[in-house]
Amino acid sequence: MDAPDTTEAPTQKSRLPRLRMSGRGMWITFLLVPPLAVMALFVIYPIVSALAYAFYDWQGLRRGEFVGFANFSKVLFDEPFATTTWNAFKNNVFVFFALMIIQNGLGFILAYALWRDLPGARFHRIAVFLPVVLSTVIIGYVWKLFFHPIFGAVNQLLRSVGLDVFAGPWLGDPDTALNALIFVNAWAWVGFPTLVFLAGLQRIPSEILDAARMETDSELLLIRKIIWPLIAPSATVCFILLFIGSFNWFELPYIMVGLDGSPFGTTDVLGLYFYRTAFGNQSAGIQDFGMGSALAVLMFLFIAVVATVWTIYLRRREIEV
């Protein structure tokens, strides 16, 4: 190419990249602004507001005056709220520990069994995960009907095999109601830790296992010393997600035992209490956004702090393969 004018060439050259740069900048802006705007409006703004709302007095939907920590102290220390809060918290803690043992424990055993790739493993894997994709509402109603004292499938089954003594009003008895809910939750969700653990097991290099099997015949020792440490990342995920899930527990108890955590608050958890406080219920008919927000902030802080500290601790014991 023979440029007719040599003095014009440099300006053209320098203008061209600059134009392209701003075009590229505009393109990136176009790609990023809509998703960031959605996050800002529907995630950041509500989370920040939730924090602020807890410091105000609320009359229905109208924000009143700034009251400092009054809502927090009411929820934590003033009766009758404090008793309810601590009772619900205690139940959440129980649910978490019970599910750690039943749901994550069984999940690990099932993952180990599936990992051995026995005949039918594919079918068993699909079966164990099926309830995970079903709505909690469906699961809650089905099991509520199954737990019916007279006509429910659970008691009918117990009676038909001669175990009449165990047949009882599962959801109506204060001693069994929360355990029944925990069982249903474990039934519905056990497929999740199973498949997360299974994915971890499948990533263990076979050379490591072969070498270890040369050293010992004890499978239990192998699991404890080799397998368990190597699938630590899977354990971290299962533990943390279960922790968050247990303290956000709402749908299943709402469907199966109602907003009040009947009988006598034995199944009351923070999720139900939060909903009752913020949006009212038939028996109380009141709604208090200030106290509700305070509860939400406390739950959020508790979950965030414990989950963060625990994740750091769990991450430390993970080993890179």
First to last CA, the chain: 58
Minimum distance of other proteins from residue 311's CB (angstroms)? 10
Nearer to other proteins by C-beta: 8 or 218?
218
Distance CA(119)–CA(5), nearest Å, equals 80
Contacting residues for 286 by C-beta, under 8 A, at least 6 apart? 280
Q: Is 306 in the site for other proteins (CB under 8 A)?
A: no
User: Which of 16, 19, 36, 208 is in the footprint of other proteins by CB under 8 A?
Assistant: 36
Q: Does 19 bind other proteins (CB under 8 A)?
A: no
Helices 70-77 and 81-99 sit at what angle, rounded to 10 degrees?
70
Contact string 200-239 vs other proteins (x = CB under 8 A) = x-----x--xx--x---x-x--------------x--xx-
Listed in order, strand segments (DSSP E) in 78-216 are: none
Q: Please name which of 222, 226, 246, 233 lies closest in space to residue 196, comparing C-alpha atoms.
A: 233
What letter represents residue 77's amino acid? Answer: F
Pick from 1, 3, 118, 312 the residue near other proteins by CB under 8 A. Answer: 118
Q: Quick one: how far is CA 231 from the chain centroid? A: 20
Q: By CB under 8 A, name the one of 15, 24, 90, 224 that touches other proteins.
A: 24
Count of helices and strands (H, E) across the chain:
17, 2
Q: Cα separation of 201 and 209, whole Å?
A: 11
- Of positions 81, 89, 131, 260, contacts other proteins by CB under 8 A: 131
Q: State yes or no: residue 11 binds other proteins (CB under 8 A).
A: no
Is 98 a binder of other proteins (CB under 8 A)?
A: no
Distance between CA atoms of residues 34 and 119, nearest Å: 50
Closest CA to 96 of 316, 227, 271: 271
Residue selected from 100, 125, 149, 280 as contacting other proteins according to rule CB under 8 A? 125
| Stretch 153-172 residues interacting with other proteins (CB under 8 A) | 153, 156-157, 160
Is the CB of 70 or the CB of 121 nearer to other proteins? Answer: 121
List the one residue from 76, 82, 167, 199 that touches other proteins (CB under 8 A): 199
For the bound state, the minimum distance from the C-beta of residue 163 to other proteins, rounded and expressed in Å, comes to 15
Footprint of other proteins on residues 267-296 (CB under 8 A)?
A: 274, 278-279, 289, 292-293, 296
Which 72-91 positions form the footprint of other proteins (CB under 8 A)? none
Beta strands in 175-256 (DSSP E): none
Single out the residue of 12, 22, 49, 83 in contact with other proteins (rule: CB under 8 A): 49
Rounded CA separation 186/214 (Å): 37
Residue 18 engages other proteins in binding (rule: CB under 8 A) = no
Burial class (CB in 10 A: 0-12, 13-18, 19+), 189: buried
We find the least distance from the C-beta atom of residue 103 to other proteins, in angstroms, to be 13
Which member of 141, 166, 264, 313 binds other proteins (CB under 8 A)?
141
**Residue placing its CB nearer to other proteins in the complex, 213 or 224:** 213
Q: Cα(253)–Cα(259) distance, rounded to whole angstroms?
A: 8
With beta carbons less than 8 A apart as the criterion, state whether 228 and 244 touch: no
Smallest gap from Cβ 6 to other proteins, in A, equals 26
Is residue 314 at the binding interface for other proteins, with CB under 8 A as the rule? no
**144 neighbors 255 (Cβ within 8 angstroms):** yes
